[in-house]
Amino acid sequence: KFGIQVGLDELFPASYAAALYISTKYPAIKKAFVIGSQGVMDELAAHGIDSVGGPTPEYSQNFIHTEADFSAVELDKEIGAVVCGWDLGFNFSKLATASLYLQKGCLFVGTNGDAYDRLSDRNIPGNGCLLKALETSIGKEAEVVGKPSQWLIDHLIQSNNLDPKRTIMIGDRLDTDIAFGKKGGTATALVLTGCTSPSDLHNQASPVPEEMMPTYVLPSLGSIYSMARTELPPPPPTFLAVDDEAPPG
């Protein structure tokens, strides 16, 4: 709608970040167990990493109903990582299987830590909820590679030759989007059409920390388009500063 053409090489979803992170930092890992969508598995495949789990029929239905079922779970020795992304088909079998792989020392990667997303007047549980369940089961935190990962913002700036002083991060979450831009040294703009409301910004009982305070606050992303189309007034005339004690002439 903005008339901006965007290619696939300009999109950086969290699933891409997870696949890139594993393939570049842990190149020996060639197979992963996935809690997440088909998109996560596709990104892993694009980076040379096989995967199981996700929305595949084998894991779409809960198959662990007893302790005996849990004890009978067979693990794939080729799996070197567990990737946890948002999964509408999350169930106990996925949780338990992932936990078993992590108990064996597999790399633990989370696509993002969002607590929830906003759908109309309701909050739908986000991937952070699934991560917490898995982290609690093994007593270990995931390496979250999506926003606000320092690794990801550094990668985006370097790989795209961005100048942080001429870059702005726009998003609707303080703890991910705005914190992400702050870590990269860019300006930030919070839009109020998503997870953050004006009352969140001015809650005296829970003030926004400096590392999450946006540079700008906008009603919506569309307001940027409106601002860009607004005819700006001509610049004011330029005046030379003259020393009062300088001789005339």
**Bridge partners of 110?**
84, 144
| CA–CA dist 179, 5 (Å, integer) | 27
Tell me phi and psi for residue 144, to 5 degrees: -85, 120
147 is in an annotated binding site: yes
| Amino acid symbol at 219 | P
Does a cis peptide bond (omega within 30 degrees of 0) precede residue 148?
Answer: yes
Instruction: Judge whether 144 and 113 are in contact, CB under 8 Å.
Output: yes
| CA–CA dist 18, 77 (Å, integer) | 21
| CA–CA dist 147, 72 (Å, integer) | 37
**Bridge partners of 123?**
118
**Bridge partners of 108?**
82
| Amino acid symbol at 5 | Q
Tell me if residue 6 falls in helix, strand or coil: coil
- State the DSSP code for 247: P
50 is in an annotated binding site: no
Q: How many residues does the chain have?
A: 249
- Number of other residues whose CB lies within 10 A of the CB of residue 135: 18
Q: Which residues contribute to the annotated binding site?
A: 147, 172
Q: Which residues contribute to the annotated binding site for substrate?
A: 147
Q: Which residues contribute to the annotated binding site for Mg(2+)?
A: 172
